[in-house]
Amino acid sequence: MTENPSPDSLTGILTSLRERVMGVSESVLSTVDGLLVVADTDTVHPESVSALAAATLGVGRRMADTAGVGALREVVARCGSGHVIVLAVGDRALLTVKGDDGLDLAAFQRESPATVEQLTKALASDVAH
Q: What is the pLDDT of residue 30?
A: 97
pLDDT in tens, 63-121: 999 999 998 889 999 999 999 999 999 888 999 999 999 999 999 999 999 999 999 99
Q: What is the pLDDT of residue 73?
A: 85
pLDDT above 90 covers what percent of the chain?
Answer: 83
Does the predicted TM-score (pTM) go above 0.75?
yes
What are the angstrom distances between the C-alpha of 28 and each of 11, 64, 75, 97?
9, 23, 14, 7
Instruction: Decide if 123 contacts 93 (C-beta within 8 A).
Output: yes
Question: What are the residues whose beta carbons fall under 8 Å from the beta carbon of 52, sequence distance 6 or more?
Answer: 34
Instruction: Decide if 24 contacts 106 (C-beta within 8 A).
Output: no
pLDDT above 70 covers what percent of the chain?
Answer: 91
Average pLDDT in the chain: 90
Q: What is the pLDDT of residue 72?
A: 87
Provide mean pLDDT across the span 54-60.
94
* Residue of 55, 32, 48 lying closest to 119 (CA atoms): 32
